[in-house]
Chain A
Amino acid sequence: MKLLLALAITIPVFAAENGLDPAAILKQPTDTWPTYNGDYSGRRFSPLDQINQANVNQLTLAWMAPMQSVAIKSTPLEVNGILYFTTPDNVWSMDARSGRVIWHYKRDSEGDHIGQRGVAMFRDWLYFETPDCHLISLNAKDGSVRWNIELADPKLGYFATMAPLVVGDHIVAGVSGDVTDVPGFLESLDPDTGKVQWRWDTEPKPGEPGSETWPQGSDAIAHGGGMTWMTGTYDPDLHLIYWGTGNPNPVLNGDIRKGDDLYTCSIVAIDPETGKLKWHYQPSPHDTHDWDAVETPVLFDDVQNGVHRKLLAQASRNGYFFVLDRSTGEHVLTAPFVPTNWSSGLDAKGQPRPMPQKEPKPDGVLVSPGSDGATNWMAPSFSPLTGLFYLNGRKVWSLFYMTADSKPEGWAGRDRNLWAESFIEAIDYQTGKIRWKHGIGDGESTSGILTTAGNLLFTADNEDNLLALDPATGKTLWHVCVGGRLVASPMTYQLDGRQYLLTPIQGIVLAWALPRPEKAAH
Chain B
Amino acid sequence: MLRFAVFYRASIFACCLSIGSFAALAQSAKVEFDAAAVARGRTAFKSSCGFCHGDDATGNRAPDLIRAPDTSRDVNGNLLRPIIRNGRTDKGMPAFSTLPDTTVNDIIVFLHSQAYTALHSARVPNDYPVAKLLTGNAAEGKEYFNGPGGCSGCHSPTGDLAKVASRYKPVDLQQIFVYPAASRRRTATVTLPDGTKIEGAVKHADEFTVAIIGPDGWYHAWPLDQVQVEIHDSLSAHRALVEKYSDRDIHNLFAYLETLK
User: In the complex, what distance in Å separates the CA atom of A363 from the CA atom of B258?
Assistant: 14
Question: Which residues of chain A are near B239, meaning CB under 8 Å?
Answer: 419
Q: Which residues of B contact A (CB under 8 A)?
A: 9-10, 13-27, 54, 56, 58-59, 63-64, 66-67, 69, 72-73, 118-125, 128, 132-136, 171, 174-175, 178-179, 181, 204-208, 235, 239, 242-243, 245, 247, 250-251
Question: Which residues of chain A are near B123, meaning CB under 8 Å?
Answer: 403, 411, 414
What are some 21 contacts across the A-B interface (CB < 8 A)?
A: A110-B24, A112-B22, A112-B24, A153-B72, A156-B69, A157-B25, A180-B67, A180-B118, A181-B118, A182-B67, A219-B63, A366-B242, A372-B17, A401-B128, A406-B58, A409-B118, A415-B124, A419-B179, A463-B204, A463-B205, A465-B208
User: In the complex, what distance in Å separates the CA atom of A230 from the CA atom of B242?
Assistant: 32
Question: Which residues of chain A are near B136, meaning CB under 8 Å?
Answer: 363
Known A181-B118, A415-B124; further 7 A-B contacts with Cβ < 8 A: A112-B24, A114-B22, A179-B119, A219-B64, A361-B247, A410-B121, A418-B178
Q: Which partner residue on chain B sits nearest A156 by CB separation?
A: B72
Q: Are A179 and B23 in contact (CB under 8 A)?
A: yes
Q: Are B24 and A153 in contact (CB under 8 A)?
A: no
Known: A115-B19, A407-B56, A465-B208. A366 touches B121 (CB 8 A): no
Q: In this assembly, does A266 line the interface, its C-beta being within 8 Å of a C-beta of chain B?
A: no
User: In the complex, what distance in Å separates the CA atom of A178 from the CA atom of B122?
Assistant: 10
Known: A179-B122, A409-B66. A416 touches B175 (CB 8 A): yes
Interface residue stretch chosen among A15-23, A205-213, A381-389, A439-447: A439-447
Q: In this assembly, does A204 line the interface, its C-beta being within 8 Å of a C-beta of chain B?
A: no
Q: Are A418 and B181 in contact (CB under 8 A)?
A: yes
Candidates A71, A229, A419, A444; contact of B19 at CB < 8 Å: A229
Q: In this assembly, does A294 line the interface, its C-beta being within 8 Å of a C-beta of chain B?
A: yes
User: In the complex, what distance in Å separates the CA atom of A121 from the CA atom of B230?
Assistant: 52
Candidates B9, B20, B23, B59; contact of A180 at CB < 8 Å: B23
Question: Which residues of chain B are near A153, meaning CB under 8 Å?
Answer: 69, 72-73
Indicate the size class of the contact surface on chain A: 35 or more
CB distance from B14 to the nearest CB of A (A): 6
Q: In this assembly, does A131 line the interface, its C-beta being within 8 Å of a C-beta of chain B?
A: yes
Q: Are B72 and A409 in contact (CB under 8 A)?
A: no
The A interface, classified by DSSP as helix, strand, loop or mixed, is loop
Q: Are B25 and A290 in contact (CB under 8 A)?
A: no
Question: Which residues of chain A are near B18, meaning CB under 8 Å?
Answer: 290, 371-373, 376
User: In the complex, what distance in Å separates the CA atom of A290 from the CA atom of B14?
Assistant: 13
Question: Which residues of chain B are near A364, meaning CB under 8 Å?
Answer: 133, 171, 174, 247, 250-251
Candidates A154, A366, A412, A419; contact of B245 at CB < 8 Å: A366
Q: Are A113 and B24 in contact (CB under 8 A)?
A: yes
CB distance from A360 to the nearest CB of B (A): 10
Q: Which partner residue on chain B sits nearest A112 by CB separation?
A: B24
User: In the complex, what distance in Å separates the CA atom of A410 from the CA atom of B123?
Assistant: 11
Q: Are B17 and A444 in contact (CB under 8 A)?
A: yes
B14, B21, B64 interface centre (most CB from chain A within 10 Å): B21
User: In the complex, what distance in Å separates the CA atom of A161 from the CA atom of B123?
Assistant: 22
Q: Which partner residue on chain B sits nearest A411 by CB separation?
A: B122
CB distance from B77 to the nearest CB of A (A): 15
Q: Are A439 and B207 in contact (CB under 8 A)?
A: yes
Q: Are A417 and B9 in contact (CB under 8 A)?
A: yes
